[in-house]
């Protein structure tokens, strides 16, 4: 059976890397955290992030070495084609994905399970300020973009997106997502999981 592509989206500062790393730990040995190429220096919190130059990224994209590639905020991001073999072998692949690229990712992967991390605006502002990677103007831009993408689930034409609140402790969100994925065709009844779902009970993922 082909593995699922767990496609995690969310604004910068929403905790995607933390959630992916925690989820991969719980899913071992059946979960694989896909490396992500990016055209900027990778930070110590980004496990599996590979920094490449713009020239090298373009070369890899042209050669077919990337399963997915997109641009955002002046940077290029890519996922190596190795994930296709992992999926074919029945492994669930975890990807730090782009909200703007979701439609194309869905077109390419029929087993894609989209998950959107939600963070309240004030918490997101605090996290972005604390990590010190953006200017005040960039932080304002990211907050505006987050507000726009918060409406993503309203315009997906019936395709289910799991909305997961990560405004609180990351471990709560990790456990909630793990429990949902462990039983994808049923609603989660566990109260601890319920508290993380931002008031929106997701429907079955699109397999």
In eight-state DSSP terms, residue 167 is: S
pTM: 0.80
- C-alpha to C-alpha distance for 10 and 31, rounded to whole angstroms: 20
What is the model's pLDDT at position 183?
A: 74
Write the pLDDT tens digit of every residue in 108-152: 999 999 999 988 878 888 878 887 777 888 888 777 877 776 666
Residue 127 placed within a domain? yes
Query: Is the pLDDT confidence value at 201 over 50?
Result: no
How far apart are the C-alpha atoms of 27 and 181, rounded to whole Å?
A: 10
Determine which helix (DSSP H) or strand (DSSP E) holds 69, and give its type and residue range: strand 66-72
Two tokens, residue 105: 């990712």
Domain that holds residue 185: 5-33+90-194
Which tokens in the block code for residue 70? 């997109």
Average pLDDT estimate for 42-70: 92
Task: List Cβ neighbours of 52 (8 Å cut-off, separation of 6 or more).
Answer: 37, 38, 39, 60
pLDDT at 158: 46
Number of structural domains in the chain: 1
In a domain, 69, yes or no: no
Looking at residue 190, which CATH number applies to its domain? 3.40.50.300
Say yes or no to pLDDT of 91 above 80: yes
Instruction: Tell me the chain's radius of gyration from C-alpha atoms.
Output: 16
């Amino acid at each position: 059976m082909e593995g699922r592509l767990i496609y995690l989206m969310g604004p910068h500062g929403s905790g995607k890397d933390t959630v992916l790393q925690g989820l991969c730990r719980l899913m071992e040995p059946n979960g694989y955290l896909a490396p992500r190429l990016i055209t900027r220096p990778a930070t110590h919190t980004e496990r599996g992030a590979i920094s490449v130059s713009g020239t090298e990224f373009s070369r890899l994209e042209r050669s077919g070495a990337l399963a997915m590639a997109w641009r955002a905020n002046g940077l290029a991001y890519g996922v190596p084609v190795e994930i296709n073999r992992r999926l074919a072998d029945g492994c669930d692949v975890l990807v730090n994905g782009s909200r703007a690229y979701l439609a194309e990712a869905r077109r390419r992967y029929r087993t894609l399970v989209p998950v959107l991390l939600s963070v309240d605006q004030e918490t997101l502002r605090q996290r972005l300020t604390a990590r010190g990677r953006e200017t005040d103007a960039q932080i304002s831009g990211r907050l505006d973009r987050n507000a726009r993408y918060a409406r993503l689930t309203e315009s997906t034409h019936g395709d289910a997106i799991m909305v997961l609140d990560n405004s609180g402790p990351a471990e709560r969100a990790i456990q909630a997502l793990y429990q949902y994925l462990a039983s994808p065709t049923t609603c989660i009844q566990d109260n601890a999981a319920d508290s993380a779902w931002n008031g929106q009970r997701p429907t079955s993922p699109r397999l």
